[in-house]
Structure 1
Amino acid sequence: MARNVARAINPPSHPGSYNRSFLSASPLAEAAIARDLADYAGAVITDDEEEEESDSSTVRPINNGESLHSLAGSYRRPSFIASTSRGTVVPHHLEPERLSHREREQIFEEERRLLSDNHIIRTDHAPDASAGLQHKISGLFSSRKGSVSASDASSGIHGDQRNRTAVTETTSLLGAENHRAVEEEIDRKWEEAVVAGLIQTSWRREAQVIGTYAAPLMLTFVLQYSLTVSSVFAIGRLGTKELGAVSLASMTANITGYAVYQGLATSLDTLCAQAYGSGKKKLVGLQLQRMVYFLWLSTIPIALTWFFADHILLKIIPDREVAVLAGQYLKIVLLGTPGYACFESGKRYVQAQGLFSASLYVLIFCAPLNALMNWLFVWKFEWGYIGAPIAVAITDTLLPICLFLYVYFVAGSECWNGFTWRALHNWGPMIRLALPGLMMIEAECLAFEILTLASSYLGTGPLAAQSILSTVSSLTFQIPFPLSIAGSTRIANLIGATLVGAAKTSAKVSMSGAVIVGVFNMILLSALRSYIPRLFTSDEEVVGLVAQVLPLCAAFQLFDALAANCNGIFRGLGRQEIGGYVQLFCYYAVAMPISFGTTFGLGWGLPGLWSGVAIALGLVSLIESIFLSQVDWQRSVDEAITRNAMA
């Protein structure tokens, strides 16, 4: 989540170095990394690390000052793990990121495809995706030495191609010089085409790219949220009080625990990425250790809060039995908090290296296992209510273990150099960077969780119904939000290449996708309003309440999707603060007063709670759409040019 520019750290020793300069928006992070680098310089560097840094210099340079219009200019990785079930409010800033070798290949391939779409280069033979970068770039130019394609001749920008040695299907690409020559030639064609205004895109191309980005993200988000859904499913049929208690316990855990871990760990989005960008990869492991120790220390007040949660909730919640059950849930889930803290830190560790698939693979294994354990413990072993929190605690412990196995056996271990006492020093900058993230995550989390607390004053039935409604609405949100991330990624990359027209086309495609998704969710919830609640509970009162409010939830699905997509476009433009503050205003200044006024003042009950949310989301989508129609796209391009020039 995060962005801006400052001074370069440890600039590359030569233009082709993989250790490109890394721009930072945070003087705190800059100072912290500089201090770590000073310590690092005195440490013993292994032969493997020296070889690794030497080898890295052969990687194609991107955004190093030579390629001012590269797609990497404002690069955003097409992946992100939601901080909470509705991760849209937080207006924090992305730092420029160091690219992994795989990401560089992806950017190179996107440039090649756009050149081909615009008939600037030829692709006589379709590249084999499994053959690697060297095979992908074969066949890009004419197969006859010195020949020029019709498109080259008509473009007027490739006249000197006749004087160059053409790369053909029969040309050996095994040598580094030929490999580099082809890359430099495509770089040259790309730069000339962008400057000449020849690069255009199509709706089909943008739909293909955004769809490719969004599909794995949707799977990741649904799997992650299924960790919560499984408990609600398993406990729902035990009774109304149990269903209400798990909702109350989840809300308390989010506000007082999980949001704290997630917010504090956001500082690693800057620190790990900058440590990786410094070229001294072992510093990434150092930052990971610091954060794990810090989060474990933070677990002490969290543990005290959860252990005595039943006594605290009894003073807030009118139903004593529900408060006691919620406290019991939190006592058991507490056992998994050290593992959850490790996983939140570990996610940033692998993400800084561009290994976003690691979290997906871990969730592909752990999410179904979590669902299975919920069924086994609650129903098969007949442990009842306590079976669900036991499954959650085990899952939270397994998540970092599985991530460790991925790093050890698959990828990511090069940034780890063992445990060190240095991890107990230089905590100040990390904590100062973590506190703003904590505040923003908490603000985001409270905006929706507070409705659950309010529903407890309506009775056990409405509390149970609120649990189902919030679960369903959050689950449907896991589709438009990843789509907005995919759109944000594509728009930011096109802005970095100064392709304003293409970026606007991508934004239109993303907006159209949001409309389709929103309408789909609306139809789905409306058509199944009588069936969905029965998946969670057999209590007729709760089923009736959910069926009554679901049409209202269905009505704002379009607004929800549009609001998420508008925020994605703002993030791509580097203007995310607009969307962040619009949402904070609408949720707290509009949604909360309306929800409480209609629920308790007018006596609307549970529909009143959701009416405020519906109005706020409609207002968010309207205001942000107006902002987008007036936003200065050229400003974002100018900022990208400045970044590239400084890099």
Structure 2
Amino acid sequence: MSTPPRPIKAGNSRHGSIARSPFSTSYLSASPIAHESIERDLAECSDDEVETPDSPSSEDESSESSTIRPDALQHSFSNTYRRPSFVAFGGTRPAITPGPAEGKYLSKKEKKQSRNEERSLLRDNHLAPPKHPEPPKRSAFNRLYRRLFSTKISKRDEEAPPEPIFTAEPSETSALLGESARTHHERLNAQWEAAVAAGKIKTTWQREAKTLWGYSSPLVVTFILQYSLTVASIFTVGHLGKVELGAVSLASMTANITGYAIYQGLATSLDTLCAQAYGSGKRHLVGLQLQRMVCFLWVLTIPIGIIWLSAEKILEMIVPEKESAQFAGLYLRILLIGAPGYAAFESGKRFVQAQGLFSATTYVLLIAAPLNAFMNWLFVWQFKWGFVGAPVAVVVTDNLLPLLLFLYVRFVDGRQCWNGFTKRAFHNWGPMVKLALPGLLMVEAEFLAFEILTLASSYFGTTHLAAQSILSTLTALTFQIPFPISIAASTRVANLIGATLTDAAKTSAKVAMCAATIVGVFNVVLLSSMRFYIPQLFTNDQGVIDLVASVLPLCAAFQLFDALAANCNGLLRGLGRQEIGGWVNLFCYYVVAMPISFGTGFGLGWELYGLWSGVALALGLVAALEGFFIYRADWDQAVEDAQDRNAAG
């Protein structure tokens, strides 16, 4: 028997028709630092710079206005990945899956999506008239198809078929008094709340599978496109020789830790600043926050540049392979030219995501990723530039990304939040830096564990460093599928919990776990069955191919744990307990994995196999601990906690 829904706590009165949208942000939190920053910026603005909200021209526009009072959002819908710092994350495989930004304001598209989801669930539960009338007779095949894949609740599961609680639209005979004063969206909100309070909203595995696919498929494309920027260089340079292949891995490690992770970590503060500026109706401040972050990151490029220019000497003191260190230093010196462009893109994608324009980065990558692969081939092999051609292709791509994003904003969408360049971009950096530092520490922790393995592998020789480059690339590439699924699971579970639909959230979590298991098994089979062929795509060196083929079964074996661990992290974020996942990951990687990796790799002489043994055990432990916590979690308490956080926000 399903648990009866807990009553929705009373909140502030509605301000506009979207105030009672069905799905609430399950771990909503306001940022005092962001409010402080916005207040300071407003104090510096002249009266003619502050825009006034446009008068709504229609009922629908009124409901979809992006200027929303915070107290009206007690139960508002928000995707938990609507401002994700990790969409188009790039770099190598993270050790600690980052949590989503906690936005509290909705774009027009999100509000429309909320209402559509609400109507669809009501129809599936036979509480609203069907979208299309039922045909009088169906074929046997059609009946079988609907039985297997229909998202509707089977009426046989109900003791008595429920009566529809509303009609979709008022008819000509509907009462005018009272009804005419309520908008269609307000009626929908009231009807949804009545259904939830009565415990009539349920879901099916078919609906959750469909929703999971809809959420995750575009993210998978985006992740793979972004990571292909890294794969292209390794794939192209690998055929030059094992020294060059190892050097690319060494250079990428240094660039990630000392540069890219800093840019990504600090830019996460825009997930809060831009989102709250946009949601509170101060659109001109969204562009101001973008300018401020770009200037800040460009200033930081100076010390980063000093490190990259000196990387050859630094690496020669750390790694025993001097030739690899020299090639890595050359790679980083060229890569420095693209650092400002990379910083601008990391800031720019938060600018468009704050406006709900998530497809912008995907469109940009659809152009840049294939072009990057072509340039790698062209520069390295056709122009005969050799090793130098790879970083040149990366530089061109890094500078092309912000340019393409600018063209999207200028000619497609997002321009409304740009108010021109201003000197205020050089003021009020304090709140931005305070918000940025935690993000920096998180991203650095994500990168560091796997980069340590790359550094350690160099002590076994050039062949091992080259093999490590291939192995880390492959495991990172396979991770680009379960990780977006975990984001989708986080989204769905958080939305259902925010809507007080505990049973539906559990069903969604079970479907997500099944999907993660399927993906994990697929990765296991793929890597293990192709272990002698995949390395040949990256290098012609037989010694590197044999070494990769010998270690790849271990990497294949932990793919299932990898997928389950990623999914458990997503479910914990959806439950609003993302701190559990953070601490478990930190413990397993730095307390368990690193000692085992170094002990078996160096102490027992297992070398590369030993380094990856620690990672495999850590992933299994992460999946077990987080899975046990999710199994024992009080989902009803998670609903109450979500309501408390929303009320506090």
* TM-score > 0.5 by shorter chain: yes
Identify the match of residue 132 of structure 2 among 125, 148, 172.
Answer: 125
**What's the counterpart of residue 495 of structure 1?**
497
Gaps of at least 5 residues in structure 1 are: 1-10, 128-150, 172-176
Residue identity in the other structure for 1:30: H
Alignment partner of 1:51 is 2:54: yes
Moved more, 548-557 or 61-70: 61-70
Distance 2:484 2:322 in 1: 39
Q: Give, in angstroms, the shift of residue 68 of structure 1.
A: 6.0
Q: Distance in 1 between matches of 2:292 and 2:248?
A: 33
Report if aligned partners of 1:495, 1:640 keep a CA contact under 8 Å in 2: yes
State the SS of the aligned residue for 2:183: helix
CA distance in 1, matches of 2:538, 2:236: 8
Whole-Å separation in 1 of the counterparts to 2:345 and 2:525: 36
- How many Å separate the matches in 2 of 1:30 and 1:12? 23
Structure 1: how far apart are the matches of 2:405 and 2:411?
10
Contact 2:17 2:185 in 1 (8 A): no
The structure-2 alpha-carbon separation of the partners of 1:215 and 1:391, relative to structure 1 and needing over 3 Å to count, comes to same
User: What's the CA shift string for 1:542-598, capped at 9, x where partnerless?
Assistant: 000000000000000000000000000001111001011100110000111000011
- Judging changes above 3 Å, is the alpha-carbon distance between structure 1 residues 75 and 185 closer, same or farther for their aligned structure 2 residues? farther
Matched with 2:606 is 604
What displacement does 1:410 show?
0.7
Deviation at 1:102, TM superposition (A): 0.7
CA displacement at 1:75 relative to structure 2: 5.1
Structure 1 partner of 2:636: 634
Q: How many residues align?
A: 601
1:346 pairs with one of 345, 348, 353: 348
Listed as ranges, the matches of 1:77-96 within 5 Å are 77=82, 80-81=86-87, 82=89, 84-87=91-94, 89=96, 94-96=101-103
For residue 12 of structure 1, report the CA deviation from its aligned partner. 11
State the match for 1:479 in structure 2: 481
Identify the residue that residue 166 of structure 1 maps to in structure 2. 170
- State the 1:182 CA deviation: 2.4
Partner in structure 2 of residue 28 of structure 1:
33
- Which residue of 431, 450, 453 corresponds with 1:451? 453
Tell me how large the CA RMSD over aligned residues is.
2.9
Is the Cα–Cα contact under 8 Å of residues 492 and 572 in structure 1 kept in the other structure? yes
Give the 3 Å change call, closer, same or farther, for CA 76–458 of structure 1 in structure 2. closer
The CA deviation at 1:629 is 1.2
SS at match of 2:49: coil
Q: Which residue of 2 aligns with 1:107?
A: 114
Deviates more, 1:83-92 or 1:417-426: 83-92
Name the residue aligned to 1:424: 426
Selected match of 2:292 from 285, 290, 302: 290
Query: 1:488-524 CA distances to partner (integer Å, 9 max, x unpaired)?
Result: 1011111110100000000000000000000000000
Partner of 1:195: 197
Question: 1:351 Cα shift?
Answer: 0.7
In 2, Cα distance between the equivalents of 1:179 and 1:214? 40
**Kept in 1: contact 2:97–2:566 (CA 8 A):** no
Amino acid of the residue matched to residue 120 of structure 2?
A: R
Paired AA for residue 321 in structure 1:
E
Structure 2's unaligned 5+ residue stretches are 1-11, 135-157
**1:217 corresponds to:** 219
What is aligned with 1:550?
Answer: 552
Amino acid at match of 2:320: P
The TM-score normalised by the length of structure 1 is 0.87
Quick one: distance in 1 between partners of 2:370 and 2:100?
33
Q: How does 1:553-564 map to 2 (within 5 A)?
A: 553-564=555-566
Find the counterpart in structure 1 of residue 526 from structure 2. 524
1:94, 1:178 → 2: CA distance?
A: 39
Q: Supply the AA of the counterpart residue of 2:105.
A: R
1:33, distance to aligned residue in structure 2 (A): 1.6
Matching residue of 2:618: 616
For residues 403-432 of structure 1, what are the alpha-carbon distances to aligned partners after superposition, in whole Å with 9 as ceiling and x for unaligned? 000011111111110000111111011011
Partner SS for 1:264:
helix
Measured against aligned partners, the alpha-carbon deviations of 1:38-62 in whole angstroms (never above 9, x if no partner) come to 334634346xx54378886442799
Instruction: Give distance in 2, aligned partners of 1:345 and 1:179.
Output: 44
Deviation of residue 88 (structure 1)? 5.8
1:186 deviates by 1.8
Given that 1:60 and 1:183 are in contact with CA atoms closer than 8 Å, whether structure 2 keeps it comes out as no
Instruction: Tell whether the 8 Å contact from 1:90 to 1:440 is kept in structure 2 after alignment.
Output: no
Query: Are the aligned partners of 1:73 and 1:644 in contact in 2 as well (CA < 8 Å)?
Result: no
- Find the aligned partners of 2:353 and 2:55 in 1 and give their Cα distance: 19
Query: Residues 73 and 646 from structure 1, CA distance in 2 versus in 1: closer, same or farther, beyond 3 angstroms?
Result: farther
Report what 2:105 is aligned to: 98
**Does the C-alpha gap of structure 1 residues 243 and 200 become closer, same or farther in structure 2, counting only changes over 3 Å?**
same
Q: Please, which moves more after superposition, 97-106 or 505-514? A: 97-106
Cα 1:324–1:439 shift into 2, 3 Å = same
Instruction: Give SS of 1:51's match.
Output: coil
Partners of 2:69 and 2:37 lie apart in 1 by 24
Matched, 1:322 2:327: no
- For the residues of structure 2 that align with 1:369 and 1:391, how far apart are their CA atoms? 9
Pick closer, same or farther for the CA change 1:563–1:532 going to 2, 3 Å. Answer: same
Shift of 1:67: 8.1
Counterparts of 1:179 and 1:388, CA distance in 2:
64
- How far apart are 1:15 and its partner, in Å? 3.6
**Contact 2:95–2:450 at 8 Å: present in 1 too?**
no
Structure 2 partner of 1:276: 278
Offset at 1:24?
Answer: 4.3
Deviations 1:343-373 (A, max 9, x none): 0000111111111100100000000000000
Work out the CA distance in 2 between the residues paired with 1:204 and 1:17.
28
Q: Which residue of the partner structure matches residue 356 of structure 1? A: 358
Give the percent of matched residue pairs that are identical in Structure 1 and Structure 2: 61
TM-aligned CA distance change 1:451 to 1:125, over 3 Å: same
CA contact (8 A) 1:69 1:191 kept: no
Superimposed CA distance per residue, residues 302-325 of structure 1 (whole angstroms, 9 cap, x where no aligned partner)? 000001110111101111111000
Partner letter of residue 245 of structure 1?
A
Residue 95 of structure 2 contacts residue 447 of structure 2 at CA under 8 Å; is this kept in 1? no
Change (3 A) 1:399 1:93: closer
Name the counterpart of 1:332: 334
2:47 equivalent in structure 1: 42
CA distance in 1, matches of 2:56, 2:645: 25
The Cα shift of 1:69 comes to: 5.5
Distance in structure 1 (CA, Å) of the matches to 2:302 and 2:638: 44
Say whether the 8 Å CA contact 1:100–1:353 is kept in structure 2: yes
- Is the contact made by 2:588 and 2:622 (CA closer than 8 Å) also made in structure 1? yes
Match of 1:308 in 2: 310
Cα distance between partner residues in 1 of 2:382 and 2:497: 54
**Alignment partners' CA distance in 2, 1:380 and 1:523:** 36
The answer to whether the Cα contact below 8 Å between 2:18 and 2:63 also exists between their aligned partners in 1 is yes
Counterpart of 1:207 (choices 206, 209, 234) is 209
Deviation at 1:645, TM superposition (A): 4.2
Could you tell me which residue of structure 2 aligns to residue 259 of structure 1? 261
* Change beyond 3 A, Cα 1:519–1:90: closer
Task: Report the counterpart of residue 243 of structure 1 in structure 2.
Answer: 245
After superposition, residues 53-68 of structure 1 pair within 5 angstroms as 57-59=62-64
Q: Could you tell me how far apart the structure 1 residues matched to 2:534 and 2:248 are?
A: 18
Judge conservation of contact 2:93–2:475 (CA < 8 Å) in 1. Answer: no
1:94 Cα offset (Å): 3.0
The one-character-per-residue Cα deviations of 1:67-88 (angstroms, maximum 9, x if unpaired) are 8656x17755396413643346
CA distance in 2, matches of 1:279, 1:291: 20
Residues 566-581 of structure 1 mapped to structure 2, 5 A cutoff:
566-581=568-583
Residue 143 of structure 2 aligns with which residue? none
Which residue matches 1:373? 375
Give 1:433 deviation, angstroms: 1.1
- Give the drift of 1:266: 0.8
CA distance in 1, matches of 2:57, 2:420: 22
